[in-house]
Each structure stands twice: as C-alpha cells, then as structure tokens.
Structure 1
C-alpha cells in the first residue's frame, strides 16, 4: 500500500530533493528530445539548481513517507512547472498538486489556468486533457533550441 500524500509549501531543506526531481524528469522526458547542444547547455548551466534557487521558495511539494516526490510552481494564472519523480508517477501526486494550483488560481480570481507542454510530451497532454485543458496556441519552443513545438493549454475555472 502506498503511504499517504501530504501537500505543503516548500522549505529550504527541500532544495536537494527538488533539484533531483527536476533532473529526473529532464532525463526521462526532455533529454531524448533535445539536441546535443541543448543537452550540453542544460548541464553547463545546471538549470534545475538555478530554477530552485530562483523560485523554489514559491513551490508547493508533494511529500510521501517524509520524501519530497513532486512539485508545482505557478504565478498568477500560469502554471510554470509540474514535476513528479518518475518513481512516483501515477500515484496521485501530480493530480493533488494540480488540484491545489487550480484551486489557488481560482481563489485569486482568475477565470482560467494556463500552462505549456511540448507536442512530443503525449503523457502530459493526456493528463491535462483529462483535467479539461484545451489547446489554445502552438509555437516554436524557444527554451531548448531543438526544433520542438510548444503547446499552450488552458482550462476555464
């Protein structure tokens, strides 16, 4: 039986776990899609650590049995990141984190939630479609410089 999930604001002590989650999801999701140059830039810039240093204090995390297993980051009506460690995929952590983000965005008075994913990420597209998100835009992915296409998804609240 899976231990209960606890959603809470992140703490400074979570930084290493947050960086590890971001590395894990990069390796399993984006690495197979990006160019060697994008991979080198990712590694050289240590992007997960920089992101956690910049915005980690704003994250909410999913914790199970004392271990941080996922994170969500949003600002205003835009979800910047939802990541769950691959060892905890399909255990409800992503659902619980998105439930919180959507509820807080609605509580702040926004009529909709927006987020981005990439066309190759069919698993995330299925997750968001099941939650009622629809595609409202499509444009070149400028983050990875790898010829990818970003989808803008929106859900009315």
Structure 2
C-alpha cells in the first residue's frame, strides 16, 4: 500500500538520490548523462534544501519511493520523481492525486505541468490520468547547448459551471 505524507528535512538526501535516478532514466538518450549527472544532483539538492516544506513523499512498506512538489504553491506540479525500481506500483498516481487535491483545495480549477516533449513515459503517465497537451515549445538550453522541446499539460479539476439560468443553462 502506498501512503503519502509531507516531506521532512531529514528526507532530503534520499529525495536527491531518487530525483537523480529518475532524472537519469528520463534523460537517457536525450543528453550526455555523465556530464550532467552532477549538475542534476546539485540542482535537486539546492531545490530540496530551499523547498522541502513544499514536497510530499510516497512510502511503500515504510520506505520512501518517490516525491513530488509544487514549488510556488500554485496550480503547477513542478516535480514528480519515483525511484525507477519502484515505478508502476502506484506511487506516482498517489502523489499526483495528493497534489491535485491540494491544488483544488487552494481554489485552482486546473492543474498544470511541463516536461520534455520526448519524455514519452511522463507524457503517457499524465495523459492516462486525464491531462491533455496544452502547449508545445522549443527553447535553447545553455546547459545542454541545444534546443529543447517542452510540452505543457493541463487537467481540469473543477467542472465548468454552465452559463445561463436553470439546469444546463440556455
């Protein structure tokens, strides 16, 4: 069974390791991992030290198997990382559901996120949970020294109210 809880400061080293492992899996074939792995580790470390209070973790049998975050506490899911050895066991689904509940409780009508357009596993994961492609973009990434394609995904969390009066509007 998967449980979701708020991250704790002492979780940071493990969350960094999970983030790096999941990032490396997603970036395979898209970048020179040996060159960028240390940059990724530093980025995860800096993010989590500054924002661990905005992260949630998924546990399975008492072990942390993944984490997710909303960096600005708005409608955007900025991070979702599950240990590659523990993927496809419900942790990602539980984390996304928890963040969607937080987003709706904060008064937002939809959840949004972005990922690399060629990250087929992530795009498929979110599409299978009701997210649709909202935008596509290409921008130069200095760290990779090349253009990177991104995709923005969005999911409506609150049903649109009909316009007009009476049931169904008019």
TM-score relative to the length of structure 1: 0.88
From 75, 84, 98, the counterpart of 1:86 = 84
Matches within 5 A, 1:1-16: 4-16=1-13
- Show structure 1 runs of 4+ deviating over 6 A: none
Q: Which residue of 2 aligns with 1:43?
A: 38
Gaps of 5+ in 1: none
Within the alignment, does 1:151 sit opposite 2:146 as a pair? no
Match of 2:95 in 1: 97
Deviation at 1:62, TM superposition (A): 0.2
1:64 to 55, 60, 65: 60
What's the secondary structure of 1:91's corresponding residue? coil
Checking the alignment, whether the CA contact within 8 Å between 2:20 and 2:37 is kept in structure 1 is no
CA drift at 1:58: 1.2
Choose which of 134, 137, 146 in structure 2 pairs with 1:136.
134
Where 1:137 maps in the other structure, the secondary structure is strand
Highest CA radius of gyration, 1 or 2?
Answer: 2
| 1:62-108: CA deviation from partner (whole Å, max 9, x where unpaired) | 01122211111012100001110001100000000000000110111
Matches of 1:44 and 1:90 in 2, distance apart?
27
Structure 1 residue 111 corresponds to structure 2 residue 109: yes
Q: Which residue of 1 aligns with 2:23?
A: 26
Structure 2 gaps of 5+ residues are: 158-170
**Counterparts of 1:113 and 1:67 in 2: how far apart (Å)?**
28
Q: Compared with structure 1, are the counterparts of its residues 123 and 31 closer, same or farther at alpha carbon in structure 2 (3 Å cutoff)?
A: closer
Matched residues in 1 for 2:113 and 2:26: separation?
A: 17
